[in-house]
Structure 1
């Protein structure tokens, strides 16, 4: 079971977004995972009665959850997703490039380029695009001789109030989670925009069998982490929920329904791995809405 699932906030269009991703990525799928109850909703949620609450998307074996909600939040490039295109998975490099280019065209339609598609020192073929739903993707033709990484890798960009803290974040997350380790660290050689010398141009770390990338932005940014993309941790029991909650939560005012914000501003959802089963209990939605940290026995 995937331990950490990236959750993407959608403005009432989660089903359409799920269908879009299922059409863009080969072999991807999308389905409604849960729905809002028909009654008992708060005033601000009544328009969602009976509609999809969460939509599950699978891209190359990596699960995402799309949260169907309002316009309170929107994803931004502070959390993006590397799509690693390995030439060895294709007949030749030309076919791999064509596959990447097709995804680029689909994701760019109605979106915007953040880094144009082309050759860079770190890749023969790479581009960074924000799609029509605000989700950012870094499409990269990988080096077959480089370290192996999964098809999809979430990437955290440290900018604004958390500029130059990527190294610190790697150490914090690796020490917090079981079966975790630091991977590569590539520092800037000199001051680069707001990035200090020795800040990370790129780094990564592993939690279980999942990889996460980090970087300190080399360009001034007017955004940072929000609930637009959150990281949901599926916990085996209440003890794990309690431990992670206590270690991660840094903004008491942000605590609600299993959500928290850590010291870097990253949003997390700390939930039991049988959340789907718990939500089938009578009045489970109302019980969840009344909680900050989730307590399994209170569902």
Structure 2
């Protein structure tokens, strides 16, 4: 308990253990969300009359992964001028009746600026959905012209058989999947694991600094007499290992869940293992060094060298060998 109280009295402990991970997490989530939003094509669909046909059309358009669609009743021309949206599509009044009588020429207004690039993708989807209905309506009109006793609605619904559940005419479509997004996600996953190790190594170095201060002030003997427990180093190892290990476990599981949507035990054991080995390495240093300056020099030197080796392996400039395993982050890439 005495060692724990001594650790918790240090303000830097709370900053490193709590504030920094929270701050980095917020920055990362905000950056990730902004990046995802930026990848979507911003499009505005204007329906001043709030027609039900608009809801039906939107339900047929795939906008989730491609477009950042905003539906409104007013035309936001200023946003288009500033480049905040790629294009604006304005639906006319009585759109359902216009589709019914195939009177669609020039009825839908399309606003875009000179920097718009991908709005044509949404235009094609919107036009396809409208023309699907227009073709069915025209077919029903033709049938009713020949036989006025036929029910127009039945003929219109009959046209669905050409589109649902699958179109009668189909191409032989083959999809070639790309592994680019998977590779990007995998790269980010490995980098986040390396950052976790680096962060916790820095935290461990501050705990080691406290240990060196106690060693310099000859507190070890006094604490042993007062607490009647194991040596100062044993208490330090148990508490530091528990704190760093628990924090590492939370971070590693969170990273796996974000990037992999599940927890892999082997990777989890590797990450926690190199973190705890780092803590044990700091314990060994307390037997050898006495000055905090030496601690910072060793931490900086080993951290930078290990990071260089990690990135050389990461970019496949260097191959795994027995000596690369001496640098703990290299185990992440095995």
**Greater C-alpha Rg:** 2
Structure holding more helix per residue: 2
Structure holding more strand per residue: 1
What is the TM-score when the length of structure 1 is the normalising length? 0.23
Q: Structure with the greater relative contact order (CA < 8 A, sep ≥ 6): 1 or 2?
A: 1
What is the TM-score when the length of structure 2 is the normalising length? 0.22
